[in-house]
Structure 1
Amino acid sequence: MKFKPYNQNQSTLFPHSFDELIPAHHPVRVINSVVEKINIQPLLEAYSKEGNPGYHPKMLLKVMIYSYMTNVYSSRKIELALRENINFMWLTATTFVDHNTVNRFRSDKLKSSFKDIFKQVVLMLADEKLISLKQINTDGTKIEAQAGRYTFVWGKAIQTNKAKMLSQLEELWNYAQSIDNEDGPENDPPEFKEISKEVIEKTVSRIDQKLSGNTNASKKSKAKLNYIKKNFVSNLEKYDQQQAILGQRNSYSKTDTDATFMRMKEDHMKNGQLKPAYNPQISTENQIIIHYTIHQNPTDTKTLKPHLQSMKELYGKHIYRKIKEITADAGYGSEENYDFLKREKKTAFVKYNTFDKEQDKNYQKKHKSFSKENLHYNKEGDYYVCPMGQKMNKTHQSKRVTEAGYEQNLSHYQAQNCLGCPIRGLCHQAKGNRSIERNHNLERHKEKTRELLLSEKGLQKRKQRSADVEPVFAHLKHNNNFKRFTLKGLEKVELEFGLMALAHNLRKKIAA
């Protein structure tokens, strides 16, 4: 049988070149070309002029971007690829870098300058007419943190434990009082309103005086006092430290204190478990990520304002003003966000929470006459008219502060006489006259938003949003198998997601 010559020991006159083995339009060449064009001066500032010379940051940056483009996220796997993969070896000119160097570059050197690098690539894509920077589609998703799934700390549990400590302290004090009535009632009894180190120490000292040497004191009470002496102050310090870590959140993971427990759609148990996660927000155009931020709160309502403010800070006012339109789903539809977008002069194609329901004919039929949204409002007289034609006059105004700290102004209206009304059972279930509260500022925003979303342009925007921003998350999570961060901490997680976003954008450039 005849075969082509095969001899592993065959010497060659000219050694093989990696450049000959890589096709002309291979993605690794695109990454090499892009990084060579951008300004890495901010990255160079992270290096010291003293000490031994390090690996060139431009080379390491190329390696990091190509790693995330090829779904290689582990520093050890990157080290292995630098020794075995000809594309990596071509990028580094066969320079072998260990995983510790890769980690130090990714976690320390790159963090302060990466956003600027990302911005330069986005503006490069804009110069190539792949994006216009005039409109954005914004959405968020939840990605699991690199943290223990069962190492949680809950804010409510801390409050409950503190309340139990206070209750046990008060109970022991009352017991000590009951067996020591020789001096009569206390002149200055301790107040059990809020637990603190001072309250614990003062109360324990006075209980100790009453129980020590008292033959009526039970062994159980003395044992409880000893337990309080040994544990209550240290436990309180622990709870205070946990509350400081929590901040405005309701939970965090012990193995990544920046991660918050969120209900995940994609989880290993397939039942929507609470798991430590982050909430990445992205703004896209033509499926290219223009901006990204990472948030610790699970809902999207509070993320829009800081997300856009971060974009303004990164790109500058001149480019930020070019973005005239923003499209987002109902998770962002709040009075605070509508007011903010109005001040920023952005046309908001942002649904409010009941918009989709209002388009349902069954919902319209059910709520046509009796819901407060459909009651006639007389703007000049500032009153509503109930389904029976009765005036509902304004009774008072009030203020309400949302969870995000935004102050809302509410107007309250009430009918004068609902007694004997034939449709009272259909209209409302209150015992007295029907009363409603209305947020007129929010209603104005909803009316304008409804008009925008139901227009021909609004319909196009809604269709475009679902085909623009949502597929990006599908690519990142499913095509690139990026369902869990590999780094810990908010700062490092943001950098890792940024590398994913930059790799995604370069994929889009290659495909264009």
Structure 2
Amino acid sequence: MGAKVVFKPYDPDQLTFLPYKLEELVPASHPVRIVKQVVDEVDVKPINRKYKGGGASSFHPRLMLKLLVYGYLTNTYSSRKLEEQAQLNVHFMWLLGMKKPDHNTINRFRSEKLSGVLKQIFSQIVQLLAAEGIVSLKEAVFTDGTKIESVANKYTFVWGKSIKNSKEKIKTQLDELWQYAQDIAKEELKDTAPLEYGQINPQKVKETISKINVALEDKEEVSAKVKQKLKYAGKHWPENLSKYDEQEKLLGNRNSFSKTDPDATFMRMKEDHMLNGQLKPAYNLQISTQDQFVLNYTLHQTSTDYQTLPSHIDQYETLYDTLPEAVVADAGYGSDENYGILHGKGIEAYIKYNTFDKEQKEGVKAFSNDSLHYNEAANYLVCPMGQRMAHMGDGQRITSSGYVQLISRYQAQNCNNCPMRGVCHQIPGNRIVEVNHSLRKHKQAAKERLNTEQGIKYRKRGPADVEPVFANLKHNHGFRRFLLKGMSKTEVEIGLLSIAHNLRKWKA
């Protein structure tokens, strides 16, 4: 016979002499403890000011902040799941002192009470990290961006170009109706003027249609088709133009927005499951990191990274009343405006320009504008054959961000008989080039800086510092899409993610 099997005693109804203390069920090294420790240290007065007072009592802001931070630390983002965890999970129960906020209370706190103030809480936690010597607010930061999809439906787009075309179509059709009315009732319309393009607004269109109707009222030769079109125009065009005006206000400087989340812009998403880069409503998240800790985050409605850097750096200065000694970023941030702003603030820009990597491998492309020697004292360029290119004049170019660039034009003197003509340029006449001298100087300074010993270290370290943070948030912790709509609410979500990320790494 085999050995007797012995089972451990098991009695689910057995009573204990003393009830368990939740404290005993939470290991000393558990991440929930650092959430409690850190949130207990921060000043929550900015959140307290959001409460009006009076009425029923509220859960303490510190308790609610702990719930959300620990929720985001454990990948629990839904308010309903947070409510469930507060009722069932020992760690949540210990952290909240057995208090059990419902999902509506959790969602209101996240959407309303944290909006506009969470960055102050985030900056306090970063300053605690700095006080511990874990990060330094004055050393170099590594900046990069990623796009995170909005909760809005991807088929709810409104395009700026489509609005413009629709308004132009109304103007064209109204001009046709006006011309038709002129042919039939010229005498009745002799004291009125046709609608100018600048007058395409609901009131003017309504008045113009009314004038046409009055002029054609007693004309028997007016076709039924024209009457029907006038009736449709009077009923729909002013209303449509009002809608277009509202949509243009929502657009601002963007080219698109979502009907169900007007703050979201349609951007090409690399992470699309079909791997074909579909356009989806999204926000552009920018972060600055150091040793993979998030020191600054901003959310933007533009898909281009270079436009985000000025406000991103301004926020860093606002949060910490200081600036990093250097900013390290890829070529997406290398613009004349950004180089100039960082230089003006005393920040070293270890930022590539668009052709930097290619130049490192192949050198400066022969016959390109950048290869032409510039004599600054006499203000002329030297062509590849050693001939002067005379200064023709200066002009301005305004970028999509509104930044004004000074552009200088130079012309070669005798290209027709030049033996290098075929490889230098193909356009008839003498070669003309446009040069942004400010950008040219910034690029040369950036190139020299990036190729120093320090610059090479930063270039190697950059991808290993900021990109793993995005990978951690999106892939390890499954945050690929916002739960809330609107810029202020999505900023709260990013703030909670950033705080949770820093605490998770701090504990590790």
TM-score range normalised by the length of the shorter chain: over 0.9
Report what 1:445 is aligned to. 442
CA-to-aligned-CA distance 1:257-278 (integer Å, 9 cap, x gap): 1001000001133210000000
Which of these residues, 272, 275, 294, is aligned with residue 277 of structure 2?
272
Cα distance between partner residues in 2 of 1:243 and 1:215: 41
What does residue range 238-277 of structure 1 map to in structure 2 within 5 Å?
A: 238-277=243-282
Report what 1:352 is aligned to. 353
The question of 1:29 aligning with 2:33 is answered yes
Which of these residues, 478, 482, 486, is aligned with residue 485 of structure 1?
482
Following TM superposition, by how much is the alpha carbon of 1:52 offset from its aligned partner in structure 2, in angstroms? 2.0
Q: Which amino acid aligns with 1:506?
A: L
Cα distance between partner residues in 1 of 2:42 and 2:388: 67
Q: Which amino acid aligns with 1:266?
A: E
Query: Does the aligned pair in 1 maintain the 2:116–2:488 contact within 8 Å?
Result: no
Cα distance between partner residues in 2 of 1:465 and 1:372: 30
| SS of aligned partner of 2:395 | strand
Which of these residues, 63, 67, 73, is aligned with residue 63 of structure 1?
67
Cα distance between partner residues in 2 of 1:24 and 1:470: 31
Which of these residues, 485, 492, 498, is aligned with residue 495 of structure 1?
492
Query: Does the aligned pair in 2 maintain the 1:211–1:222 contact within 8 Å?
Result: no
Q: Which amino acid aligns with 1:270?
A: L
Following TM superposition, by how much is the alpha carbon of 1:185 offset from its aligned partner in structure 2, in angstroms? 8.1
Report what 1:225 is aligned to. 230
Following TM superposition, by how much is the alpha carbon of 1:247 offset from its aligned partner in structure 2, in angstroms? 0.8
Query: Does the aligned pair in 1 maintain the 2:189–2:215 contact within 8 Å?
Result: no
Which of these residues, 392, 401, 405, is aligned with residue 404 of structure 1?
401
The question of 1:90 aligning with 2:94 is answered yes
What does residue range 294-443 of structure 1 map to in structure 2 within 5 Å?
A: 294-316=299-321, 320-321=322-323, 323-361=324-362, 364=364, 367-368=365-366, 370-443=367-440
Query: Does the aligned pair in 2 maintain the 1:190–1:199 contact within 8 Å?
Result: no
CA-to-aligned-CA distance 1:208-260 (integer Å, 9 cap, x gap): 12322212111101100000010111101000010111111111101111001
Name the CA shift for 1:434/1:112 in 2 (closer, same or farther; >3 Å): closer
Following TM superposition, by how much is the alpha carbon of 1:347 offset from its aligned partner in structure 2, in angstroms? 0.7
Cα distance between partner residues in 1 of 2:193 and 2:39: 72
Cα distance between partner residues in 2 of 1:210 and 1:462: 73
CA-to-aligned-CA distance 1:22-44 (integer Å, 9 cap, x gap): 21100001111111222222222
Q: Percent identity?
A: 50
Report what 2:150 is aligned to. 145
Following TM superposition, by how much is the alpha carbon of 1:184 offset from its aligned partner in structure 2, in angstroms? 9.1
The question of 1:462 aligning with 2:492 is answered no
Q: Which amino acid aligns with 1:28?
A: V
Return the TM-score normalized by structure 2: 0.96
| SS of aligned partner of 1:13 | coil
Report what 2:15 is aligned to. 11
Name the CA shift for 1:112/1:371 in 2 (closer, same or farther; >3 Å): closer
Cα distance between partner residues in 2 of 1:185 and 1:57: 68
Following TM superposition, by how much is the alpha carbon of 1:310 offset from its aligned partner in structure 2, in angstroms? 1.2
Name the CA shift for 1:135/1:218 in 2 (closer, same or farther; >3 Å): same
Cα distance between partner residues in 1 of 2:193 and 2:37: 77
> Which sits farther off after the overlay, 441-450 or 189-198?
189-198
| SS of aligned partner of 1:275 | strand
Cα distance between partner residues in 2 of 1:417 and 1:94: 86
| SS of aligned partner of 2:450 | helix
The question of 1:109 aligning with 2:117 is answered no
Query: Does the aligned pair in 2 maintain the 1:170–1:192 contact within 8 Å?
Result: no
The question of 1:51 aligning with 2:55 is answered yes
Following TM superposition, by how much is the alpha carbon of 1:187 offset from its aligned partner in structure 2, in angstroms? 4.6
What does residue range 169-184 of structure 1 map to in structure 2 within 5 Å?
A: 169-181=174-186, 183=187
Query: Does the aligned pair in 2 maintain the 1:327–1:349 contact within 8 Å?
Result: yes
How large is the RMSD of aligned CA atoms in angstroms?
Answer: 1.4
Aligned length: 502
Q: Which amino acid aligns with 1:55?
A: F
Which of these residues, 70, 73, 98, is aligned with residue 77 of structure 2?
73
| SS of aligned partner of 2:470 | helix
Cα distance between partner residues in 2 of 1:253 and 1:240: 16
Following TM superposition, by how much is the alpha carbon of 1:57 offset from its aligned partner in structure 2, in angstroms? 1.6
Report what 1:136 is aligned to. 141
Return the TM-score normalized by structure 1: 0.95
Query: Does the aligned pair in 1 maintain the 2:393–2:408 contact within 8 Å?
Result: yes
Q: Which amino acid aligns with 2:185?
A: D
Q: Which amino acid aligns with 1:330?
A: A
Which of these residues, 162, 169, 173, is aligned with residue 167 of structure 2?
162
Following TM superposition, by how much is the alpha carbon of 1:135 offset from its aligned partner in structure 2, in angstroms? 1.4
